[in-house]
Amino acid sequence: MFEARLLRSSILKKVLEAIKDLLTQATFDCDDNGIQLQAMDNSHVSLVSLTLRADGFDKYRCDRNISLGMNLSSMSKILKCAGDKDTVTMKAQDNADTVTFVFESPNQEKVSDYEMKLMNLDLEHLGIPETEYSCTIRLSSAEFARICRDLSQFGESIVISCTKEGVRFSASGDIGSANIALAQTASVDKEEEAVVIEMEEPVTLTFACQYLNYFTKATSLSPQVQLSMSADVPLVVEYRIPDIGHIRYYLAPKIDD
C-alpha cells in the first residue's frame, strides 16, 4: 500500500506545472524515503530530477517500493480539479494498475476521488554523478525568470558568464544584443533577493533559451534559484521546495560544431 497526503494540493499542482512542458510521461518512484522522479526530456537535451521527502508529507506510507508510471497531461487534468486549499492524497495498492487522487476541501464537506490508469514505462536508469562546480550562483527565482524571458527576445541562446565580480547574461540576434549584469549583493533586506556567488574559477557557457524558460515554470515553488556551472558539464538549475524537497534541471551547454 502506498499513500501520501499533502495538506495543500498547490505544491503538487506547481510541481506538475514545472515538469509538464518537458515530459509527457514519467515514473514516480516511491519508497520509504519519499518520492523520486528522474527523466530526460522528450528530446534528450535536459534531465529533470524531483525529490519529495516523506517527512514533508502530512502523512506518508509506503509498504513496498512502487513505481507509478503516469501520463502527465492526464495527471495535470486531474489536479486541475483540486482547489488550492484542498488536501490531496495519492494512493495505490501494491502491484496496482491505477492510482487514486483524493481531494478534500478544508471543511471536509467536499470529497472527490479520481482514479487514473498507470502506464508501463521503460525505466531509464540514470546516475547523477557527484560533481564539484566551478561556480554557483544564487539569485531570486523571479529575477532569473525575468532575465530568461527578456533575453529570449534577442536570440535562441543565452550566454551565462560568471566571475567573482558578478554574473552576466547575454543574448544576441537579428534585432541586436542584450546584456544583463548582476553584481553580488553586499547587503539586502530580504535574503531571497540576494545575489550570492561562490566561484573557484570563472566560467562562460551557452544554453538554449527555450529550455531555460521551461525550467522557470518552477519559479512559484521557491523564492530563490541556484545555478551551478562547470566547463563542459550540464548546468544545474535548482529550486528548493520549502520543507519537502527540490527540483533540479540539468541542461547540456551548447557546443560549437
Residues that bind another protein (CB under 8 A): 40, 44-47, 125-129, 208, 232-234, 250-255, 257
Smallest distance, another protein to C-beta of residue 100, A: 32
Smallest distance, another protein to C-beta of residue 38, A: 9
Smallest distance, another protein to C-beta of residue 2, A: 25
What is 230-253 written as a DSSP string? -TTS-EEEEEEETTTEEEEEEEPP
By beta-carbon proximity to another protein, the closer residue of 184 and 228 is: 228
By beta-carbon proximity to another protein, the closer residue of 142 and 252 is: 252
By beta-carbon proximity to another protein, the closer residue of 154 and 250 is: 250
Contact 113, 101 (CB under 8 A): yes
By beta-carbon proximity to another protein, the closer residue of 144 and 207 is: 207
- Residue 237 and residue 132: Cα distance in Å, rounded? 15
Contact 73, 20 (CB under 8 A): yes
DSSP 193: G
Smallest distance, another protein to C-beta of residue 176, A: 26
C-alpha closest to that of 72 among 24, 121, 11, 12: 24
Smallest distance, another protein to C-beta of residue 231, A: 11
Look at residue 88 and give its three-state secondary structure.
strand
Cell numbers that stand for 87 in this block? 488536501
By beta-carbon proximity to another protein, the closer residue of 1 and 128 is: 128
| 45-64 burial: b if 16+ Cβ within 10 Å, else e | bbbbbbbbbbebbeebebee
Smallest distance, another protein to C-beta of residue 125, A: 6
* Measured torsion, CA atoms of residues 35, 148, 180, 47, in degrees rounded to the nearest 10: 40
Look at residue 122 and give its three-state secondary structure.
coil
By beta-carbon proximity to another protein, the closer residue of 53 and 254 is: 254
By beta-carbon proximity to another protein, the closer residue of 51 and 185 is: 51
- Residue 99 and residue 81: Cα distance in Å, rounded? 16
